[in-house]
Amino acid sequence: MKSITINGSKRESVGKSATKALRNAGKVPCVVYGGDEPIHFSADELAFKNLVYTPDVHTVVITLEDGTQVNAILQDIQFHPVSDRILHIDFYQIFDDKEVMLEIPVRVVGNSRGVRNGGVLRIVTRKLRIKAIPENLPDFIEVDITEMKIGSKKYVTSVASNDYKILHPDNTVICQVRTSRTAIVDEVDEEEELEGEEGAEEGAEGTEAGAEAPAAEAPAEE
């Protein structure tokens, strides 16, 4: 998974007045949990634009002025209800040998047969929650819809991997191809149906021919 570096400064005071002063200076108060003790720091609001305002997911390397470096993931973020400015961010420290839970975006690839025939692709689950060690965290989870016909569904079991564990029930639907007013019969299904009908007709003709064949005459009695 790609990583973003955030340069910050440790916070000496965590009171309301100190927090307000940081925000007035264009900085965001943050806390890192998950280690031996919480780490309070602040960073410029602009430093978070590539982390927050994106559909992608990244791990974070927090680098502080005293040389401290912490690997973490974004855990929670608070926005101002009116201005939408970032008010506070919580991070969770990660370690190379410990599994972490994270929501990973789903990326759909391929040109579905069902969509080509007029069906509508509906993405039901846009992010999947997984559990893995940091090294195995993917940037996204790819879902191939090429062979999906009208009425088909893709479940989380179709994207299972040895690198991570999916934390959803097996019957969770990722996407499906639904019918529409402009949908037509799937070409492959139609061909198979015609072949089946032709086979049935040939069988019926054989039966009729057998029924119409004259019975062998019994030998005349002398």
Looking at residue 103, its pLDDT comes to: 96
Looking at residue 66, its pLDDT comes to: 87
Strands 69-79 vs 3-10: parallel, antiparallel or unpaired: unpaired
SS3 61: strand
Q: Which regions of the chain carry the CATH code 2.40.240.10?
A: 3-93
Looking at residue 222, its pLDDT comes to: 41
Q: List, for residues 165-179, the tens digit of each pLDDT value.
A: 999 999 999 999 998
CA distance 78 to 114: 41
Q: Which regions of the chain carry the CATH code 2.170.120.20?
A: 100-178
CA distance 119 to 151: 9
Which one-letter amino acid corresponds to residue 103? E
Q: List, for residues 59-68, the tens digit of each pLDDT value.
A: 999 999 988 9
Task: Write down the residue that tokens 């639904």 correspond to.
Answer: 178
CATH architecture designation of domain 100-178 = Beta Complex (2.170)
CA 109 to chain centre: 12
CA distance 51 to 48: 5
Looking at residue 199, its pLDDT comes to: 52
Looking at residue 221, its pLDDT comes to: 47
**Mean pLDDT, 10 residues at a time, the chain of 222 residues:** 93 84 92 93 93 92 93 95 93 95 96 90 96 96 95 96 96 93 61 51 51 48 44
Which of the following CATH numbers is that of domain 3-93: 2.60.200.30, 3.40.228.10, 2.40.50.140, 2.40.240.10? 2.40.240.10
Which residues share a beta bridge with 79? 86
Q: Which helix (DSSP H) or strand (DSSP E) does residue 24 occupy?
A: helix 16-24
